[in-house]
Amino acid sequence: MIARLFLGLQVLLFIPYGLYCLVSPGMLAGAAGVAANSITGTIELQSMYGGLQVSVGVLCLLGLLRKDFEQVALTTLLFLFAGLAVVRVSLALMHGDFSGYTVFAMSYETFCLVFLGWWLLLRPGAATPSS
């Protein structure tokens, strides 16, 4: 039940945010300080902040709707949040950047990483790899 709630939350965050970034990539300039200076840059923002976010949300939706995809979705999120949290926290500390966007993102990503690490690897009853 907890894993399904977690996946549902990810669906509610990733899909709308990704769609918003897809149709309004310029908003990233004000929100995150990320701006495109060419059509190629705009396509990159729309692909990475739009398409990728939506596809992660759809994977979470699939994990929510089909039990056989739940573990795949959660494991994928573990790796995605590990990359985001470790790099964002490290670079924020290195550069001393603690803008509202950075603090929110690294807090959320770190929370998700810790939850997924506990859920998939450490909690009593967590699945163990088969031989």
- Per domain, the residue ranges of the chain are 2-122
pLDDT of residue 22: 97
Q: What is the pLDDT of residues 65-116, one digit of tens each?
A: 999 999 999 999 999 999 999 999 999 999 999 999 999 999 999 999 999 9
Rounded to the nearest integer, the mean pLDDT of the chain is 95
pTM of the predicted protein model: 0.91
**Does the structure show a pLDDT above 70 at 27?**
yes
**Does the structure show a pLDDT above 80 at 128?**
no
The arithmetic mean of pLDDT across residues 25-31, rounded, is: 94
The arithmetic mean of pLDDT across residues 39-44, rounded, is: 97
Q: Work out the pLDDT band at 126, boundaries 50, 70, 90.
A: confident
Burial 48-84 (b: 16+ CB within 10 A, else e): ebbeebbebbebbbbbbeeeebbeebbebbbebbbeb
DSSP codes of every residue in the chain: -HHHHHHHHHHHHHHHHHHHHHH-TTHHHHHHS---SSHHHHHHHIIIIIIHHHHHHHHHHHHHH-HHHHHHHHHHHHHHHHHHHHHHHHHHHHHT---HHHHHHHHHHHHHHHHHHIIIIISTT------
Cα-atom radius of gyration of the chain, to the nearest Å?
16
pLDDT of residue 125: 85
